[in-house]
């Protein structure tokens, strides 16, 4: 547990660790929270940053778009040698998401995946519902092939954002779970590039848990699900 640490030095330390590690370097899992900061991924577009105000915007080399980090959010940075772990990037992302889903389940909350939109979502008005989400609608492209329709987040809100980087088969960046936050800064961006996407935390959906307890549980689930 690293506690509350500034984003930029942590980002630099992740890069340095990954650049200098070798086949014998043990994997690490950093758990922390950050002072208010917006981070922009490689796919980020300036128009998704609406009114950042006094909150700094930091460009990063992770995948994805714009997101917000702030106090009351558990941020996990797994630094895994995927070659040694024995699985590929797609499964790595699935395992991270599963760790979040199982963390939420401990609090009676059902986490959902949305195809094409990494991260974990909940039904804020019925967070314990196990009902399956509607299948992603499909439309036909001009050439006759199937293509996904725009994503519909009706009835859903994002509770965990995911963005990773893989360098020399080793991962950094990671996942952020909203526990008990000031959610207002999310309204100043299009979270993960989706205009109007609602963002919630555990406290918003009726779960009262401290940062340390949530961080401890998420770290244990990540250690379990990211094991070789």
Active site residues: 192
Residue with tokens 């922009």: 40
For residue 128, what are its two tokens?
Answer: 């314990």
Taking CA atoms, 64 is separated from 137, 175, 176, 182, in Å, by: 22, 12, 13, 22
CA 117, chain centre distance (Å): 10
Cβ–Cβ < 8 Å for 164, 39: no
Look at phi and psi of residue 196 and say left if phi exceeds 0, alpha if psi is from -120 to 50, else beta. left
């Amino acid at each position: 547990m690293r506690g509350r640490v500034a984003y930029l030095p942590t980002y630099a330390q992740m890069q340095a660790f990954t650049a200098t590690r070798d086949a014998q370097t043990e994997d690490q899992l950093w758990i922390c929270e950050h002072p208010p900061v917006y981070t922009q991924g490689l796919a980020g577009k300036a128009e998704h940053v609406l009114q950042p105000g006094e909150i700094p915007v930091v460009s990063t080399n992770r995948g994805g778009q714009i997101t917000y980090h702030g106090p009351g959010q558990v941020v996990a940075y797994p630094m895994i040698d995927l070659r040694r772990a024995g699985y590929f990037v797609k499964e790595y992302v699935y395992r991270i998401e599963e760790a979040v889903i199982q963390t939420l389940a401990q609090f009676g909350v059902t986490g959902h995946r949305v195809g094409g939109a990494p991260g974990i979502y909940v039904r804020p008005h019925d967070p314990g519902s196990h009902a399956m989400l509607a299948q992603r609608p499909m439309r036909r492209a001009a050439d006759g092939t199937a293509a996904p329709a725009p994503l519909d987040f009706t009835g859903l809100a994002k509770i965990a954002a995911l963005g990773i980087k893989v360098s020399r088969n080793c991962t950094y960046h990671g996942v952020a779970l909203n526990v008990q936050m000031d959610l207002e800064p999310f309204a100043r961006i299009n979270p993960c590039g989706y205009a109007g996407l609602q963002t919630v935390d555990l406290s918003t959906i009726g779960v009262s848990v401290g940062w340390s307890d949530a961080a401890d549980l998420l770290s244990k689930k990540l250690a379990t699900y990211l094991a070789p």
